[in-house]
Structure 1
Amino acid sequence: MSTPRILLADCDSYFVRCAMLADPEGAGRSHLVLVGGSATGRGVVTSASYAARKFGVHAGMPMATAIRLCPRGVVVPVPGEMVNRKHKEVRAVLDEFSPVVEAASVDEFYLDLTGTELLYHGEPLEETCRRMQQAVMDRTGISISIGGATGRTLAKMAASVNKPFGVHIVPPGGEAAFMSRFALSDIPGVGPALAEALRRRGATQVSDIAPLDLATLTSWVGDSRAQWLYHLARGEDFGGVAPRRPQKSISHERTFPIDISDPEELETRLMMLAVETGASLRADGLRARTVTVRLRYADFTDRSASRTAPDAIESDRAIFTIARELLRELLAKRAGAARLLGVGVSKLMGDEEREPALFADTPGGPETARDRKLAEATDRVTGKYGKGALVPARIAHRDPKDRHRGRGGSVEE
């Protein structure tokens, strides 16, 4: 059996690079580029150029703070149309190097080169990666960093070692030594809550848990997370790559810095999430039949509710209408302050699966032809002027900083 050869190609400062390509005479002439909310408003930074990061600017930071730290920074909106175009171009180049490519996000791609040694005439994997990098740069103008390993998670972590435009390959047999260099919080999937639970036990580095037996780790964090961490700390990563894996769901959620108990405020936040979810759904050329709302209370109790529509939907209004009813049902069963709110859609289908009757308005249905046309118009404006250029009045009338507050959504690390 061939040794797995998994790669993660990570586009370097992707939103910044797309902004520079979209506006070569503006952002393209500056090294200090800040992508995100308005310089005069109180939006947040979606991404910052590497030069700007040296001033302390980072994704998720209020734009006003970023401007104070980097006063010469050029502020530009997210270039939605260019982001989508370059994603497809990068994918097309990577498809030429591997028979199995999976887009993990708009700027990350997993490749499986297992068993391709003869195809590349025994070429060292690092050399293949260098050629791949150059081909992507020459044909798309996008810089990528590549990590390689025997598993998916290790490849992702390896891609971060030599950014930007770097390559790092974890040699077979060197997985445990590679993992030992990282903090536990560096592992994708180890969030703040899990990291804190481990810290309370005195473990902050991967090397702190590597000597532990599975029973001890299970007593700390539970069975499923213990199994995962136990193997990963030893460099045992069994994650593979799925080619063009069909999406089962799309969702967006926010964790609030301050718990929210006002139902009207929660509904406004719900609308923001419905708008994001609808945009993601349409960007992938999909419709959905099921809407789900997830609510996490201040005591970390999770509750969710779902509803399936008679016809597939795609518009923000239809998603929000169903989601609002679900939220009200959840709050009627249990009132209380919420720390997290999420909206998801599932039972997805593309244009080719859509019945002709679905294009007509269904009496009493959740979505009309007008809703669909409005959603299309919103996407055109967003694609041209960036995320947040056109939003419902209920959101627009709020303090702009509230539209971006909390964790989740499209911020580039």
Structure 2
Amino acid sequence: MSIPRILLADCDSYFVRCAMLADPEGAGRSDLVIVGGKASSRGVVTSASYAARKYGVHAGMPMATAVRLCPRAVFAPVPGEMVNRKHHEVRAVLDEFSPIVEAASVDEFYLDMTGTEMLYRGESLADTARRIQQAVMDRTGISISIGGATGRTLAKMAASVNKPFGVHVVPPGGEADFMARFDLADIPGVGPALAEALRRRGATTVRDLHPIDLPTLVSWVGDGRAEWLYRLARGEDHGRVSPRGPQKSVSHERTFATDITDPEELETRLMMLAVDTGASLRAEDLRGRTVTVRVRYADFTDKSASRTVPDPIESDRAIFTVARELLHGLLRKRGGGVRLLHVGVSKLMGEDDESAELMLFEEQPDGPETARDRKIAEASDRLRGKFGKEAIVPARIVKRGKDGSRGRGGSQT
């Protein structure tokens, strides 16, 4: 039986690099780049260049704080189109090196290299990783760091060792020694609450867990997490690569320059997000059954609501119809200024999903989406692809005027 050989290709400062490629005369000319919006916006930092991070800037930080820490930086919006384009370009290169590639996120890819030793004529996994790394850089302009190991969690942790543009491979048999260098909080899947629970027991590093037996660890953190953590701390990682990691959701959100209290204005902003979310779904040949709306109020309180429809939807009108009902339900429960609005679609199905395919031929007269909605959405996508994103938009959005407030930042998980 072949020893598992798994690589994790992690794009270095991906959103920053995409911003540089999207704006070579602006962000592309600076080492200090912060992605997330304008310096005057009320949003948060999506990503920061390595040079900007030295000033203390990090993802999730309020933009106002980032401006104070690094005032000379170039501030750039999330380059959604470039992010999606480079994701597919990087994936295409990786597919040439491995028969099994899994996109874990927009900027992370697992490759299963198990059994490819003959294909690469006995080349070491580290040397193969360096060739992959260089091929991606040469053909896409994206820098990646690669970690290699016998399991996916170990490979992910190895990818962080020599960033940026580094390679680190954990040799078979060296897993326990490799893990011993880390704090427990460094392990993917050990969140702040679990790390704090372990800290209260006196365990902050992986080495601290070595003398702890499994029953004791179970009493600390419960059955499920205890066994996983017990084995991983000793270098036992049985995580493997799936040919295609299931995408869990597609969403877009917008932080507003000033709080919005007018329900009609919020509906218009909601429609913008529904249009962007629908376009992202169709670009990936996906449909979804659950629509979620999240509202963040001026006091940073978040409230959300979801609805699952009988049949998968993909059209802008159907997403907006469901999202509008959810929004008004939230606003009836609480008034006040809205700082952020989010629209997401989950419970996704691809075009090859048999059950989803059958549903398309069963017209539901009282459902949120019709065949006509899908045809209109497809025609709109073709026009936008040919003439640009503003070639066709809902009349309600046009009436608002082009005041520069339309947001297109999105996320896919």
TM-score (ref. length: structure 2):
0.76
Give distance in 1, aligned partners of 2:316 and 2:148.
39
Aligned: 1:284 with 2:309? no
Give the SS at the match of 1:75.
Answer: strand
Pick which of 282-291 and 364-373 moved more: 364-373
Matched with 2:368 is 366
Show the counterpart of 1:229: 229
Return closer, same or farther for 1:280/1:203 CA change in 2, 3 Å cut-off: farther
Letter in 2 for 1:136: V
Q: Residue in 1 aligned with 2:258?
A: none
If asked which structure has higher relative contact order (CA below 8 Å, sep 6+), I would say 1
Residue 120 of structure 1: SS of its match in structure 2? coil
Q: Deviation digits for residues 96-122 of structure 1, max 9, x if unmatched? A: 111111111111110011111111111
| CA–CA separation in structure 2 for the residues paired with 1:273 and 1:26 | 27
Q: 1:245 to 1:151 in 2, by over 3 A?
A: same
Q: Distance in 2 between matches of 1:78 and 1:220?
A: 41
Deviation at 1:62, TM superposition (A): 1.3
Equivalent residues in 2 for 1:255-334 (5 A)?
A: 278=278, 280-291=280-291, 307-310=308-311, 312-315=312-315, 318-319=318-319, 321-322=321-322
Unpaired segments of 5 or more residues in structure 1? Answer: 255-263, 295-302, 336-340, 397-402
1:28-107 equivalences in 2 (<5 Å) = 28-107=28-107
The residue number in structure 2 matching 1:136 is 136
Judged with a 3 Å threshold, the aligned counterparts in structure 2 of structure 1 residues 100 and 411 are, in CA distance, closer, same or farther, namely: closer
Q: Deviations over 1:319-344 (max 9, x none)?
A: 46546767999999x99xxxxx9965
Is the CA contact (8 Å cut-off) linking 2:315 and 2:373 kept in structure 1? no
In the TM superposition, what is the alpha-carbon distance from 1:210 to its structure 2 partner? 2.3
* Counterpart position of 2:210: 210
1:258 maps to none
**CA–CA distance in 2 between the matches of 1:330 and 1:82?**
34
- Do 2:250 and 2:412's aligned partners in 1 also have CA atoms closer than 8 Å? no
Which residue of the partner structure matches residue 338 of structure 1? Answer: none
Distance 1:270 1:194 in 2: 36
Partner of 2:299: none
- How many residues in Structure 1 have an aligned counterpart in Structure 2? 374
Match of 1:175 in 2: 175
The alignment partner of 2:110 has SS state of strand
Residues 68/290 of structure 1: CA separation in 2 closer, same or farther (3 Å cut): closer
Q: Secondary structure of the residue that 1:45 maps to in structure 2?
A: coil
Q: Distance in 2 between matches of 1:411 and 1:114?
A: 28
CA-atom RMSD in angstroms: 4.4
CA distance in 1 between partners of 2:87 and 2:230 (Å): 35
Distance 1:244 1:411 in 2: 15
Query: Does the Cα contact within 8 Å between 1:183 and 1:205 map onto a contact in 2?
Result: yes
What is the distance in 2 between the residues matched to 1:253 and 1:181?
Answer: 38
Distance apart, 1:19 and its partner CA? 1.1
Q: Which residue of 1 aligns with 2:13?
A: 13
Q: How far apart, in 1, do the equivalents of 2:273 and 2:228 lie? A: 30
Q: What is the match of residue 120 of structure 2? A: 120
Asked if structure 2 preserves the Cα contact closer than 8 Å seen for 1:6 and 1:155, the reply is yes
Q: Which residue of structure 1 aligns with residue 350 of structure 2?
A: 349
Whole-Å Cα distance in 1 between the matches of residues 177 and 134 of structure 2?
A: 29
Tell me, in whole angstroms, the C-alpha distance in 2 between the residues paired with 1:43 and 1:359. Answer: 42
Larger deviation: 141-150 or 24-33?
24-33
Q: Distance in 2 between matches of 1:358 and 1:65?
A: 48
Deviates more, 1:207-216 or 1:154-163: 207-216
For 2:226 and 2:279, how far apart are their aligned partners in 1? Answer: 36
User: How far is the alpha carbon of 1:283 from its aligned partner?
Assistant: 3.9
Secondary structure at the counterpart of residue 348 of structure 1: strand
Give 5+ residue unaligned stretches, structure 2. Answer: 254-262, 295-303, 335-341, 401-406
Distance 1:216 1:329, change over 3 A: farther
The amino acid of 1:307's aligned partner reads T
